[in-house]
Amino acid sequence: MRYEKQAFQQRERHIVQEFPLRLMVNERELATLVASPHQLNFLAVGFLRLQGFISTPDDILSLGVCSEFGLASIRLKKDIPERLTPTLTSGCGTGIVFNLPQHLRPSENEGTASPSSVDPQTVLGLMANLARLADNYSRHGGIHSAAVSSTEDPELFAEDLGRHNTLDRIAGEALFRGINLKGKLLVTSGRVSTEMVAKATRLGIALIASRTSPTDAAVELAQQAGITLIGYVRGGSFEVYAHHERLRQVAADGRISGITGVILAGGESRRMGCDKSLLPVAGARFIDHIYRKMTELFDEVIIVTNSPGLYQDIPCRKVPDIYYGRGALAGIHSGLCHAQNQRIFVAACDMPYLNTDLIRTLCHHSEQSDVVIPQSPNGLEPLHALYHKNCLGAIENTLDRGRRRIVHFFPQVRVSEVAITAVNAVDPQGKSFRNINTPEEYFHCRLTADGTSAPLKTSEEEQLSIQGRSSSG
């Protein structure tokens, strides 16, 4: 029955289910958890894991859950301590913890991510995806949700009427599925209190973000544990309460920190008959257009070339190939070796239509893998992609075997592809990947300086069609 506008109306509405689950561990009644009635095996195992009673699936000899009687019967290899000090936790459902820590040391959280490694947009995106997944809350409210991931897409997701239960469920499912949570991001719909921070520390979580506020004790505990603690994640903003240094800083001028821009400018340009990087278009040389876009985005820009004298007027470092005459892959290798940052964004010198929004989109995914590469109608675009120094060993192995194709080293590293739909959202005409290989294409480029001509060959296709280049590009 609903009262509205001075009248009662008959309405149907979903009601949150509340389910008491008794935990019998080694024939000893340990606790009663008040929770939502689904996937109780994850809840029970996660609870035991986060109390420190188990750490691997092998610690469990048997597990049985009877929903009809609200009982989880578990037998462990090790005995439960005789004397336990229970603490009733705050929040919906009123949880219970044993051995609630008052102090934590950073060394206890071995899984924290490296400083300045988390993109704030990843936090916002993960929270937005949590909201989309939390359909129970939208239907009847009263349900908390949580998710963990290292990207915007949740790897594990849980709902429960108790916010602390959501983390127990995630811990249990991760244990069953063999998912390592160290260094992951945790987003939650509920308030962050000390028991949430303590549980996250045991899992090696690097960052906790909530739609609402943390408690003062949670802030202090997160500070001790080395966990980044964020609250009030709403819209496009949030507040940071502990260890802000883990979040990647955006420069006041909008540049992207932690990534070096690399221009590959050493190809022989045999079909063009002259150095393509020096060709004029729209009032400047190809390489000038590319360098200008790079400096808008990155604090450090490098040109990989074996002819540095050609670019004396461009105020950046020029570095040679280390593997001389091995093509574009050798250029990427040189850029990685000489860059001050761990990651580089690579573009060929004959791609004058770079799109800063697309480059930012790729950089937004930089934490996901060793290689972040966009898709196009022609396939992958390795000469418009991000590479991490982790790739160096695999690239050197590939070059040492006499192989030149960039994609040949991909099976040895982690590769993340940015879908063509995401590319089209910021560059619908696909101009970013167009390069100029022949005098005819250059003439057409001059006539259509806005770049609306028909698609040209990608840089990778050009690299494969010309053998024996002395450098990258």
Highest mean pLDDT among 15-24, 102-111, 199-208, 260-269: 199-208
Question: Is 461 or 61 the better-scoring residue by pLDDT?
Answer: 61
Q: Are residues 288 and 392 in the same domain?
A: yes
345 & 445 share domain: yes
What band does 435 get if pLDDT is binned at 50, 70 and 90?
Answer: confident
* Radius of gyration, alpha carbons of the chain: 27
The structure tokens listed for 82 are 């005789």
Residues 217 and 81 in one domain: no
- Same domain for 224 and 291? no
CATH code at position 23: 3.10.20.10
Q: DSSP assignment, residue 81?
A: P
Domain-located, residue 427? yes
Q: Which residues neighbour 400 within 8 Å (Cβ) at sequence distance 6 or greater?
A: none
My answer on whether 239 and 179 are in the same domain is: yes
For residue 346, being part of any structural domain is answered with yes
Which of 66, 92, 337, 349 is labelled catalytic? 92
- pLDDT mean across residues, the chain: 82
Residue 238, domain member (yes or no): yes
Domain's final residue, options 98, 122, 152? 98
Q: What is the pLDDT of residues 190-238, one digit of tens each?
A: 899 998 999 999 999 999 999 999 999 999 999 999 999 999 998 778 9
- Residue 448 sits at the vertex; the CA angle it makes with 447 and 453, to the nearest 5 degrees, is 125
pLDDT digit string (tens) for 67-92?
888 899 999 998 888 776 555 454 55
Domain span at residue 68?
A: 19-98
Q: What region, left, alpha or beta, does residue 435 occupy, with left being phi > 0 and alpha being psi -120 to 50 degrees?
A: beta
Helix (H, G, I), strand (E, B) or coil at 395: helix
Residue 438 pLDDT? 65
Least confident of 135-144, 152-161, 284-293, 444-453: 444-453
pLDDT tens-digit map of 126-185? 998 898 887 644 455 578 999 999 888 899 999 998 888 999 999 999 999 999 999 999
Tell me how far apart the alpha carbons of residues 394 and 76 are, in angstroms, rounded to a whole number: 44
The residue that leads in pLDDT, 185 or 113, is 185
Q: Write down the pLDDT at residue 202.
A: 92
Check whether residue 353 and residue 280 sit in a common domain.
yes
Together in a domain, 310 and 449: yes
- Shared-domain flag, residues 426 and 304: yes
Note the pLDDT of residue 236.
79
Q: What is the DSSP string of 13-42?
A: ------EEEEEEETTEEEEEEEE-SS-HHH
Q: Tell me the CATH number at 209.
A: 3.40.140.10
Here the CATH number for the domain that contains residue 432 is: 3.90.550.10
Binned at pLDDT 50, 70 and 90, residue 120 comes out as confident
* Domain co-membership, 416 together with 460: yes
Q: Does residue 92 have an active-site annotation?
A: yes
- Asked if pLDDT for residue 384 goes beyond 90, the answer is yes
Instruction: Decide if pLDDT at 30 tops 80.
Output: yes
Question: What pLDDT shows up at residue 440?
Answer: 67
168 is in an annotated binding site: no
Both 332 and 434 in one domain: the answer is: yes
SS3 content of the chain, % helix, strand, coil (to 5): 35, 25, 40
Domain boundary among 222, 246, 270: 246
Residue 208 located in a structural domain: yes
The more confidently predicted of residues 5 and 321 is 321
Specify the DSSP element, H or E, that contains 121: helix 120-133
**Residue 89 sits in the same domain as residue 137:** no
Confidence tier at 18 by pLDDT (50, 70, 90): confident
pLDDT of 71? 93
Cα–chain-centroid distance for residue 290?
27
Among 158-167, 251-260, 338-347, 357-366, the least confident range: 251-260
Give the pLDDT score at 267. 57
Specify whether the CB–CB gap between 154 and 145 falls below 8 A.
no
Residue 219 lies in a domain: yes
Residue 9 lies in a domain: no
Model confidence at 460, pLDDT cuts 50, 70, 90, reads very low
Same domain, yes or no, for 38 and 141? no
Grouping H, G, I as helix, E, B as strand and the rest as coil, residue 412 is helix
Asked if 157 and 133 count as a contact pair (C-beta separation under 8 A), the reply is: yes
What pLDDT was estimated at residue 445?
Answer: 66
Whether residue 65 lies inside any domain: the answer is yes
Q: How many domains does the chain have?
A: 3
- Say what the pLDDT of residue 113 is: 46
Last residue of a domain, one of 98, 122, 153: 98
| C-alpha distances out from residue 275 to 304, 369, 447, 464, Å | 14, 34, 20, 18
Q: What is the 3-state secondary structure (H, E, C) of 332-370?
A: HHHHHHHCCCCEEEEEECCCCCCCHHHHHHHHHCCCCCC
Q: Is residue 321 annotated as involved in ligand binding?
A: yes
> What residue type is assigned to position 359 of the chain?
I
160 is in an annotated binding site: no
Q: Which of 244, 241, 227, 197 is nearest to 107 (CA)?
A: 227
Q: Is residue 195 part of a domain?
A: yes
Question: Which has more pLDDT, 454 or 100?
Answer: 100
Average pLDDT over residues 366-378: 88
Whether the pLDDT of residue 450 is over 50: the answer is: no
